[in-house]
A and B are shown apart, each in its own frame.
Chain A
Amino acid sequence: MSGDDPIAAFRVEAGDLLEGLEQALLDLSHQLDNRGLIDAVFRGLHTLKGSGAMFGFDALATFTHHCESAFDRVRKGLTPATPELVSVILSAMDHMRALVEGDGAGLEAVGSDILARLQAALGDAEQPESAAAAPVAAPSATQSAKGWKLFFRLPPGAMANGTNPLILLDELRDLGEAQVVAVVDDLPNLPDLVPTDCMMGWQVELRGNISREDIEDVFIFVMDDMELRLEPLESEEEAPVAAQVETLPDQSAALATADPSAAKAATPRASESVRVPAERLDILMDRVGELVIVQSRLSQLANSGVEGAAGELALRSISEEIERLASELRDTMMVLRMVPVASLFNRFRRLVHDLSRETGKTIELVTEGESTEVDKTVTEQLADPIVHLIRNSCDHGLETAEERLKAGKPAAGQVKLAAQHAGGEVLITISDDGRGIDRARVRAKAEANGLIQPGQVLSDFELLQLIFHPGFSTAAQITNLSGRGVGMDVVKRTIEGLRGSIDVASEQGKGSTITLRIPLTLAIIEGLLVRVGDGRYVIPLAAVEECIELPVSEDLRMRGRSMIQLRDALVPFLRLREVFNTGTEPDQFQKIVVISTGGERVGLVVDQIIGSHQTVIKSMSSLHREIASFSGATILGDGGVALILDVMHLVAFGQQREARLRAVG
């Protein structure tokens, strides 16, 4: 467990550091003069070097040191940051990752190559500073004597700064037989005495085989500020005291003897741990607490010998409690494995950056819904398919800058990754604004591979589905970008292996969108809990733009209208009381929750906004599943049930209603 193993903890930390560094470098490549980013990169390299050295990752520390020095020049303004430099450091990250995971054996060539490129990027032939070599211990003269006579006085402020003269005296006493005499000549009069000031001196006679270093070592922290007079009691030899050069056991030697095998010890891969928000652990703790209580009730019952109906009843009650707790524990545990897709999406920033360089096209990656949560194993299995889809978009989908400009599009192509929950599923879309799928080419390829007959009539949908056919991409790979043996058919199979489905939509000249639908055994929603009449409802927080008070006067003015004035805009609104036909009277002070999705907005009028609420989406039985306004239900803290509003449907409904009312006049 990384909690007890510093090496494992270091690996995890190094992983995070490298990830953070990568993101900062990618940001830097778009803003080369951003001081904040430059400092952040430097700090990251510096920390990585220091920690690496501390835990025995010498190759890593040395390599990182060179990168850090290079970046120090940028930080000091001696060299500008260039895209070339950023790219080299990004490659250096990969090398560092390898060094963190292993011991660097066999990677020296790679390392030297990168450092050479680093030098080239810095634009001069200056040799990199030599690695932080172990400092050579300054040979110092030592004298061994039968004893020493010394006098020392500390600066007045020494005690306030944590130096304890009594401990220093104890240290001296440890060196040999000591006689200590306090020297109080300089003590001021009592009224002038500042108790925290050290005004005393000490005279110490030390007998034993003690070296000067030993004594100086005692005073190492205060050496610069104190008064120290030292003379040997008698020297061993009358001969001139030759400076005996003695190498101090320097710390780097100590470091070298730190067990190198510790670094190679098999440790669990960093990716096998999961970051868990503390609140989820609190919930787990609560459940465990309840379980403990129920267990003691069971134990009591077992020992009480109550029989018959009373005993059965008590047993049944306990059994029900346990069933409830087991179910909740199961839910809570699954929740712990949920991670936001941001962790997945971030990996692709680097990919798009590299693809942009390789293809020579300017490509932007836009992400949406990064906070959508998905089970950890699902993110891992989605990585490869999404990489392939992104490569497809960058390689085939997006046009070159000139083509785009000619077509009236912005020069930079856009790849968009979006994630959202829809009931018990997560929807991930990969879309681009490129040239779209060329139906004629698909058809030609399908015919060439014998998937369809020439002249066979197919709907557009069927035609597009052909790209997922195993036999479709057997024709020679166009470029090596989309190679790697991952065809669209493999993508489809992987998604289906997750019990999901994949869809493609494409408009020629405009772009393509691939939609992955993955069912989740469990989905978490961060929601806004509201009350309408007697019922409580949860609105996905991600869709909530704002909440506004609805004054009574405004409410009256809204009668018969279809829109409300929201600052400068008119927004359609829905009174949920009416939509859900609660049959209750409205609260005096109603609220409007403005929700938005896909750029469209609707204001929902509710009676009360209760608060935000994080909870598990429970899907409903097939009897209720198709009700469009709700995407599921959830259990609240008091055991009650709240329905989760389907934002997309309500927004569409609000817009339609508004259009209808407007048409009617």
Chain B
Amino acid sequence: MSLLPWIPHLTFAGALLSLAAGTRSATAARVTALGTALVGMVLVAIGAVNFAPTSGLQTLVDVPWIQEMGIRYHLAVDGISLTLVVLTSLAAVAGILFSWTVEERVGEFFAFYLLLIGGVYGVFLSADVFLLFVFYEIAIVPKYFLIAGWGSTRREYGAMKLVLYSFAGSSLVLAGVLWTYGAGGADGFSLSALAEAATRLSHIETVVVFGLVFFGFATLAGLFPLHTWAPTGHVAAPTGASMLLAGVVMKLGAYGCLRVALPLFPDGFTAWQPVLGWLAVAGIVYAGLIALVQNDFKFVIGYSSVSHMGFVMLGLATGERAAVGGAVLQMFSHGVIAGLLFAVVGRMVYERTHTRDLTELQALPLHRLIPGAAGVFVIAGLASMGLPGFSGFPAELKILVGVWRVNVWWTVWAGLGVLVAGAFTLRVMQRAFFGQAGTDAAPVAESSSLAPLSLPEKTGAALLLGSTILIGLKPDLLLDWIMPALQSPAFHFAATKGGP
């Protein structure tokens, strides 16, 4: 049988090992962490190769856990969760490669890092809502220590804000789930038991509970106007943690919406749908416009993350099968691309130039000083703008086509968002990398010998770039997993509406 169910525990064990190895030497901790992530990646690859797409969840483990409450230790996988598990394994390895230069308390850093990764794997594999919630919360706390301990700009503020937002969101989820369990009289916390209990709630209750659960999860997905933790948190975080935050942690929220909120309360979804769609559109445009005027390189990427996650939420808000599939593809795509962009800003540029100020960077001819970084950023920027050949294109196309069938105006505004994304990406690309050397640039001389990209950086960049190009050229690799999963009766809210 597949080894997938062991991945979270393996990662937790790796966290302990890294902590122990860190007391010996920094290198030992790094190697242990990378080894853990690589083993996880291999296990995921084996699981992915042997995966046969079906509709519905394929149970991996299902044993009684807390019988007094009808809670089961139930891990399962379908095309959606496997897509995100693959993304997590990529982000984990890449993040460690880009954290290779962490020098302080290395063992602790990677212990928190792997704890977070293990929690994320667990969420994507859980089929029992209690278990999902446990993993979800395990993934929250390490973020505080990663950011507050190893971060930069206003790190304690950013860390606290991020964790409090996440935890407040998860409290809403807990309230909604327990309400359903209690008032609906569920005999456990499995998705099916809760879905059945949800049918016994009154209409008003369903609407309220859907709001609690959806917005609780959506907080972590960065849905406007609950997104404000994201830019500050991303900017304050150390590179590896920003990559994880944007790459996988925001996906936890979107995944929770898709896996728990939408299937459990379809009536509540119908009532909220217009609001959700407009909020998602507002997020796309608003965050894009903010990104357009930022002067801090990392804030641009932080807001662009919120804008791109808006597409995911818009896809979900349509409740239309093709668009929801596109949203899942966009989760993967954004996870890879955002990780890459944060790696360029935080690791490749900032650690060499010690500035993220676009005015200062403009004075440096970075395309000549670190051509590798410029090259990676140009490709990643093109991918981020949604150009064909990269994974963002099929994802956003599927979403926009699906949205068209539901509400034309959403498509118009979201299309405008695509244009804004192009604008801010080109602007930051030009300012950061293709600035005019020597206009009023004193620092050029001293920084004219910036270190070229190191091996870990090249490997990490190649891994992520390869993924986005591969999926861009052949999105069916993932869509063949995702679309059958959406045929499951659990996702019957995702009916094809409107057109043929």
**Pair from one complex:** no
- B interface residue numbers (CB < 8 A to A): none
- A interface residue numbers (CB < 8 A to B): none
